[in-house]
Amino acid sequence: MPIRLTEHGIRPSDIDRDARRVLSRLYDFGFQAYLVGGSVRDLLLDRTPKDFDVATSARPNEVRRLFRRCRLIGRRFRLAHVLGEGGKIIETATFRAKPPSDGDVLLITDDNKFGTPDSDAHRRDFTINALFFDLARSEVIDYVGGLEDLERRVLRTIGEPVVRFREDPVRMLRAVKFAARLDFGLEGALRRAILSERGELKKAAVPRLYEEMRRLLWNGSARRGFELLDELRLLEVLLPELSGFLGRPADDPWHPLGPLLDALDSRFEDPDQPPPDGLMFAVLMWPLFQALVGALEGPVPAADERALAEAVLEPVARRLGVPRRTQETLLRVIEGQRRFRRAKHDRQLRGLARDPDYASIVAFAEMRTEAGDLDPEVADAWSDFTDEHEPPPLERKRGRRRRRRSGKGSGRGGRSGGRRRR
């Protein structure tokens, strides 16, 4: 594939200052360095990138010597995290080599681990994610036909989709995420490969599955993402419990999955303000819980509700690796809905307002109102109550993030050089 240098709309000022500083310093010391991956794609689409990654000819140790605030992470593949303002991380990785093919020696040395811009581009997942931006020359470099796919708005794997999905089944979920978020079509062979290889997802590492599911839910395009999962029959593998829920009519009182996903999308569009994970995953569990409660004869005693909610959640949490802390919030969000309905005394409701996940409980009640899942009188009672007991701002719990930082050294969104496969 020829390299294409193009007229593009990227202005240096669109690029994060710290990322520019990293690129310039690498150039100054004679290394090749490019902006790569999602940031180039997003800039070309006129979207605000979430993070800025750099690929360079400098080896990890060389990068470390150039930047004062820098640390190396990753075990199999070392890469550098250069720290910018406010704890921001510019992930700076040395160009990767082509993966060794079967006949090659197994021993990995530094010489066969690192490669060229071309080999690095070919290890990436989709053509639109493999564009390089050369800041010094203000040029986009395209080794894989990504520019054309961006123009046509199609998602295409680099190389054979069946092979690329077998190498790393999580790429199937990433395909859905990008198609939903960017409103791109899926190239025919990619679509067929998902249908044939979807069972491979069972082999994927659960923390990565969880991370991609999280990102599907928090994109402002969760509804579209779940429709695609359903259409591509990935839901059958990941969440068979929910297969068929999306197709139900909007006025079906027990199954508001589609409208709840819409409510999530309209509320959490800002990629810098991710909602608490427990609140997002409650959207998936609530319809299942409601369906279970609805199928039981007679009212559910309060004492049994928690056990019922846990029974709904348990197989899903195991399959998708939902962290304990997220499960706790999720269960409290579900319980909170029922507690509000049940409360007979002010005292009980005041207890609800002191719940550590009160903000999520209220946000969920509001989303249910928007989704037409709450009787108008109950919705009014909620708003009277929250006028009096204003919830604190919603924020994503930081515990998990902090732990990850000190562990595998991952940045925002939980990316980890060690775990991510290319």
Catalytic residue IDs: 51, 53, 125
Q: What is the size of the binding site for ligand ATP (CB under 6 A)?
A: 17
Least distance in angstroms from the C-beta of 31 to ligand ATP = 20
Of 270-299, binders to ligand ATP (CB under 6 A) are: none
Instruction: Return contacts of 160-168, CB within 8 angstroms, 24+ apart.
Output: 160/189, 160/193, 161/187, 161/189, 161/190, 161/192, 161/193, 161/194, 162/193, 162/196, 162/197, 164/125, 164/193, 165/193, 165/194, 165/197, 165/200, 166/197, 166/200, 167/421, 168/125, 168/204, 168/421, 168/422
Angle (CA) 293-297-298 rounded to 5° is: 85
First to last CA, the chain: 20
Contact between 44 and 131 (Cβ < 8 Å): yes
Binding mask 209-238 for ligand ATP (x = CB under 6 A): ------x-----------------------
Q: Binders of Mg ion among 44-103, rule CB under 5 A?
A: 51
Which residue is it, tokens 């590492």? 205
- Among 397, 322, 318, residue whose Cα is nearest residue 359: 397
130 binds, among Mg ion, ligand ATP, none (CB under 5 to 8 A by kind): ligand ATP
CA pair distance 200, 242, nearest whole angstrom: 19
In the complex, minimum distance from the CB of residue 33 to Mg ion, in angstroms, rounded to a whole number: 17
Nearer Cβ to ligand ATP (98/421): 421
Report the residue number, 35 or 237, with the smaller CB distance to ligand ATP. Answer: 35
Among 122, 124, 198, 332, contact with ligand ATP (rule: CB under 6 A): 124
Out of 113, 248, 338, 420, the only residue in the binding site for ligand ATP (CB under 6 A) is 420
Site size for Mg ion, by CB under 5 A?
2
Task: Using the minimum distance from each CB to Mg ion, give the nearer residue, 37 or 256.
Answer: 37
3-state secondary structure (DSSP) of residue 57: coil
**Range 167-186, binding ligand ATP (CB under 6 A):** 168, 170-171
Q: Is 274 exposed, middle or buried (0-12, 13-18, 19+ CB in 10 A)?
A: buried
For residue 156, the minimal CB distance to ligand ATP (Å) is: 13
Tokens encoding 417: 């050089």
Quick one: which of 21, 98, 166, 422 contacts ligand ATP (CB under 6 A)? 422
Crossing angle for the helix pair 277-295 and 257-267, nearest 10 degrees? 160
Decide whether 125 or 142 has the Cβ nearer to ligand ATP. Answer: 125
3-state secondary structure (DSSP) of residue 405: helix
State the residue number with the nearest CB to ligand ATP.
38
Residue 404 binding ligand ATP, by CB under 6 A: no
Is residue 207 helix, strand or coil? helix
22 in Cβ contact with 33 (< 8 Å): yes
Query: Residue 117 touches which of ligand ATP, Mg ion, none (CB < 5 to 8 A by kind)?
Result: none
Determine which residue in the list 20, 27, 38, 162 makes contact with Mg ion, applying CB under 5 A: 38
Kindly tell me which of 51 and 305 has the beta carbon lying closer to Mg ion: 51
CB of 51 to ligand ATP, least distance (A): 6
Q: Which of 260, 269, 285, 266 is nearest to 372 (CA)?
A: 260
- Residue 153 binds to ligand ATP (criterion: CB under 6 A): no
Can you give the binding site for ligand ATP, defined by CB under 6 A? 37-38, 50-51, 53, 124-125, 129-130, 168, 170-171, 215, 415, 420-422
Residues forming contacts to Mg ion in the complex (CB under 5 A) are: 38, 51
